[in-house]
Amino acid sequence: MPRVTNVPAGRRRRKKWIRRAKGFFQGRRRLYRTARETVQRALRFATEHRRLKKRQFRRLWTTRINAACRAEGISYSRFMAGLKKAKVALDRKSLADLAVRNGEDFKKLVALAKTPK
């Protein structure tokens, strides 16, 4: 009697991993075991990098704001503290966008942050 290895369900389960390995190189795409290991590893990296992306973007925004502030003669920390005292509730993403794309408006914010309260 032939050995049955859970044919329809097993094939579906294996094909699911093979489909997810599309775009990988050689056996990592074609061989079930290697494909599954590679896909699992890729999924772990994807999870980790989703978290890292948020940190990296915040660092980028801070760097851009800092560079724009230095050009205006104020440090990043004094600028952020000045905005907080002036009750300006803009996040770093929008501040960095202003610094890069709209320098005049950013200069107004720097002037606002420099005024003592």
Residue pLDDT tens, the chain, 117 long: 778 778 899 999 999 999 999 999 999 999 999 999 999 999 999 999 999 999 999 999 999 999 999 999 999 999 999 999 999 999 999 999 999 999 999 999 999 999 876
Residue-level pLDDT at 79: 96
Domain 7-114 fold is: c-terminal domain of poly(a) binding protein (1.10.1900)
Residue 90's nearest CA partner among 75, 109, 108, 71 is: 109
Helix 103-114 and helix 92-101, axial crossing angle in degrees, nearest 10: 120
> Which pLDDT value is given to residue 117?
66
pTM of this structure: 0.78
Q: How far, in Å, CA of 52 to CA of 40, rounded?
A: 19
Q: How far apart are CA 105 and CA 99, in angstroms?
A: 8
